Amino acid sequence: MATAVVEVELLDPPARIGGLDGYAAALVLARLGGRPVGQATLPVVEGSVDVGRVHEAIVTDSNRPLWDRWLQLRLGIPDPEPAVEKATVAVCTRDRPDDLRRCLDALYPYLEAGHELLVVDNRPSTRETERVVAMYDGVRYVREDRQGLSAAGNRAFREASHEVVAFADDDTVPDPGWLPALLRNFSDPLVLCVTGLTMPLELETEAQEWFERYSPFGRGFERVVLDGTQMNPLASWRAGAGANMAFRRSAVDRVGPFEEVLGSGTPARSGGDHEYFARILAAGYRIVYEPAALSWHRHRRTWEELRRTVYGYGVGVYASWTHELVVGREFGVLKMACGWLIRDQLPALVRSLLRRPGRVPLDLLLAELRGCVAGPWAYLASRRVLPMTGGWP
């Protein structure tokens, strides 16, 4: 049975969260004063979840984000004002009009508030995306025929009217407070990038449940400032997900554009966002992970889509590491690859073969491993057909 995705405000909680007939469990996002402070997966009993169980799971001595938020509200300390008044919100998309419509519905209030809303249509096979955008007055439509998500992202940088460019994937639904939460983190001139918390929009299928277990986009509920002195830039996936991120447009002048041989829509399949994060950190700049910048992501619904996604992530990781080795002379990627294999992938494979409780399905593990093996060759194939654009400092 499916898992419901629900929310509860801890300042004014109901006794029970009802209307969950047909669900076996619920993923509950807890907010305090509107801000996400924790999550818990709880059983659904007679169509509802006891909010007392949510309190037991969320309100613990070790939940620092909750107590920091409680203290802020108790002392009446307001949230900082956004450091940037206006921003460009860019949605890079290709042939997903239904997802795009849902995303634009969520983003349109930002346009009404004076921000710019830009849709970059990457090598479309139809005019459906253009027709969807035409339904929203004031949204700019740009067609980019160079291949790949990274090329679309670079076009967004060139087209943007404001210094900060916030990127939302077309299959996300940003929360109402998403953009202000991102923007208030740009007061530090060394911050070139801010990422946010990404939660599942739905967990209606087995594939969506396994995506959230195996490869979640969320990085927790505590704000973190990252730089190259405290985190290996080659482990840049810890900084957040490309589905929910914002950059200073001047990042292009300081560390270069997105690398167009990497990312979705190229033979490398993914990795463009994390390679860019790594370059920012290696150049001495900072990335902020801000969980108040919440967005909801629609995971792939079928098992075959999930398997292709996991394979693509394996390809992308090793393609980006190959790029960092070849172009950046970052020999630490060899240690990273060995560590991932020995500490994570091989033990998970053994648990799956032995049918241990909580094991990851074998076909997902094998898909990831096949992707890792294919990654370096996919990178070389991408180099043959696409121009290189980014560069390491």
- The structural domains of the chain, with segments of one domain joined by +, span 2-75, 88-302, 304-385
List residues bridging with 7 in a β-sheet.
Answer: 29
Give the pLDDT score at 391. Answer: 75
Bridge partner list, 172: 297
Measured distance CA(153)–CA(142) in Å, rounded = 11
Residues 6+ apart with CB under 8 A from 248: 163, 164, 186, 191, 192, 193
**pLDDT at res. 321:** 96
Closest CA to 271 of 286, 259, 288, 282: 259
Which residue has tokens 């029970």?
16
Q: Are 30 and 40 in contact (CB under 8 A)?
A: yes
At residue 196, the pLDDT reads 98
User: Which pLDDT belongs to residue 48?
Assistant: 97
Q: How many CA atoms lie within 13 A of 287 on its CB side?
A: 34
Q: Indicate the residue type of 242.
A: G
| DSSP letter for each residue of 146-176 | SSSHHHHHHHHHHH-SSSEEEEE-TTEEE-T
CATH topology of domain 88-302: Spore Coat Polysaccharide Biosynthesis Protein SpsA; Chain A (3.90.550)
Nearest to 48 by CA among 8, 76, 77, 94: 8
Question: Residues 91, 118: contact at Cβ < 8 Å?
Answer: yes
Measure CA of the first residue to CA of the last residue in the chain; give whole Å: 50
pLDDT at 230: 86
Residue-by-residue pLDDT tens, the chain, 393 positions: 799 999 999 999 999 999 999 999 999 999 999 999 999 999 999 999 999 999 999 998 889 999 999 999 999 999 999 999 999 999 999 999 999 999 999 999 999 999 999 999 999 999 999 999 999 999 999 999 999 999 999 999 999 999 999 999 999 999 999 999 999 999 999 999 999 999 999 999 999 999 999 999 999 999 999 999 888 999 999 999 999 999 999 999 999 999 999 999 999 999 999 999 999 999 999 999 999 999 999 999 999 999 999 999 999 999 999 999 999 999 999 999 999 999 999 999 999 999 999 899 999 999 999 999 999 999 999 999 998 888 776
A 10 A CB-CB count for 356 gives 11
Q: What is the pTM of this model?
A: 0.96
* C-beta neighbour count of 120 within 10 angstroms: 25
